[in-house]
């Protein structure tokens, strides 16, 4: 009797499609304090202070800026956290959205 060798795949990630990433957008408004938005970007989105400042400058000049790309569920969680903190602190014009690339 002849034994045949079957090829066994050890690639654990074979066939798994990584989640699609979406953009998190920060929209500029002239009522939310610069320092508050800076703090949100550093604490919730883990940007460096310099990255956050550059992003804020872009949002101010263009009207919006891409904060980063994340899987949809993580993006929505971060946006919800940021907006919730803004509302608790009285910044009702603060706006972030999740959008497809």
Residue 2 scores a pLDDT above 70? no
Q: Would 1 be classed as within a structural domain?
A: no
Q: Would 64 be classed as within a structural domain?
A: yes
Residue 84's SS3 state is helix
- The CATH number of the domain holding residue 76 is 3.30.1390
- Helix, strand, coil abundance in the chain, percent, nearest 5: 40, 20, 40
Confidence of residue 87 (pLDDT cuts 50, 70, 90): very high
Q: pLDDT of 50-75, one tens digit each?
A: 999 999 999 999 999 999 999 999 99
Q: Would 92 be classed as within a structural domain?
A: yes
Residue 5 scores a pLDDT above 70? no
Q: Would 20 be classed as within a structural domain?
A: no
Give the range of the structural domain holding residue 83, as residue numbers without chain letter.
Answer: 33-99
Q: Would 25 be classed as within a structural domain?
A: no
Tell me how far apart the alpha carbons of residues 88 and 7 are, in angstroms, rounded to a whole number: 58
Q: Would 5 be classed as within a structural domain?
A: no
Residue 1 scores a pLDDT above 60? no
pLDDT confidence of residue 7? 66
Residue 69's SS3 state is strand
Strand order in the sheet with 64-71: 64-71, 21-27, 95-99
The domain total for the chain is 1
């Amino acid at each position: 009797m002849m034994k045949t060798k079957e090829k066994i795949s050890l690639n654990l990630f074979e066939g798994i499609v990584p989640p699609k990433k979406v953009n998190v957008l920060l929209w500029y408004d002239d009522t939310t304090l610069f320092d508050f938005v800076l703090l949100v970007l550093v604490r919730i989105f883990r940007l460096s202070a310099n990255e956050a400042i550059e992003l804020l400058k872009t949002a101010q000049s263009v009207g919006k800026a891409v904060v980063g790309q994340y899987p949809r569920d993580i993006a929505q969680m971060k946006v919800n956290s940021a907006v919730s903190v803004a509302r608790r602190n009285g910044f009702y014009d603060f706006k972030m959205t999740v959008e497809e690339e």
